[in-house]
Structure 1
Amino acid sequence: MLRHFTLEYWIDEGWYVGRLKEVPGVFSQGESLAELEENIRDAYHLMIEDEIPHRTMVQTKELIRKQLGLK
């Protein structure tokens, strides 16, 4: 299934730096916009592969949430 995300990017000292707006933690860079897009795709796929064991854990274990107050 093809999913669509928003690539937010900027140019920093000649490098194209970007992130996926809808997927926190997917960042990358490239020497061109095309390279940035390729690297973002790679970063997204690596994140998805890394999350598979976590999804299994959540499905088989009880998820507990607690409010935590911080100063």
Structure 2
Amino acid sequence: MGTITKKNIKKYIYWQEEDMFIGYLEEYPDYWTQGNSLEELQENLLDLYQEFSSNNITAIRKIAEL
């Protein structure tokens, strides 16, 4: 997992359903992921963020502010 600093903290929403943790990045609410533990969910969310930030995927919907 990458290093998290105050500058690059990303908010996420998560919940537990039975044995799985499910969540999404606040900035990208259409893209959910899951993990067997909260730590695994956080790793998966960080992977998603890094992939989305690479600009290798087109047409990603996200929330923004003006």
Is the TM value for this pair above 0.5? Answer: yes
State which structure, 1 or 2, has the greater radius of gyration over its C-alpha atoms.
1
CA apart distance, 1:26: 3.9
Residue 53 and residue 43 in structure 1: after superposition, are their counterparts in 2 closer, same or farther (change >3 A)?
closer
Are 2:39 and 1:34 equivalent residues in the alignment? yes
Deviation digits for residues 4-47 of structure 1, max 9, x if unmatched?
22111001121000011123344211000000000100011111
Percent of counterpart pairs with the same letter?
32
How many residue pairs are counted as aligned between the two chains? 53
User: Root-mean-square deviation (CA), in Å?
Assistant: 2.2
**Residues 1:25 and 1:44: Cα distance change in structure 2 (over 3 Å):** farther
Q: Would you say 1:23 and 2:25 are equivalent positions? A: no
The structure with more helix, counted as a fraction of residues: 1
Letter in 1 for 2:36: E
